Amino acid sequence: MKCIFTSSLSGTAFYFLSEITNSFELLLLSCFLLIVSAIAFALDVLAWRAYQDRKYEGTKNARLKALNSLRKTLRIK
């Protein structure tokens, strides 16, 4: 997450620097850094959601196992 913040911050800084110096190369560099940081942020969000889904599935499976063992203990069908 720090890398994403740094990339977007440097992209913004290069944008303002390109406006001050009227440099097209710095403008392209700032656009590139902002696009890279947006892609990295999207990938980070997707990874976080996948982690949350796996964590939920793990607790769901544990609850089902506990319920099944309780049913076996109480002989409930």
- Digit-coded pLDDT (tens) for 8-54: 777 777 777 777 778 788 778 878 878 888 888 888 888 888 888 88
Long-range contacts of 3-8 (CB under 8 A, 24+ apart): 3/40, 4/37, 4/40, 4/41, 4/44, 5/37, 7/33, 7/34, 7/36, 7/37, 7/40, 8/33, 8/34, 8/37, 8/38, 8/41
Is pTM beyond 0.95? Reply is no
Sketch the domain layout of the chain as residue ranges: 2-74
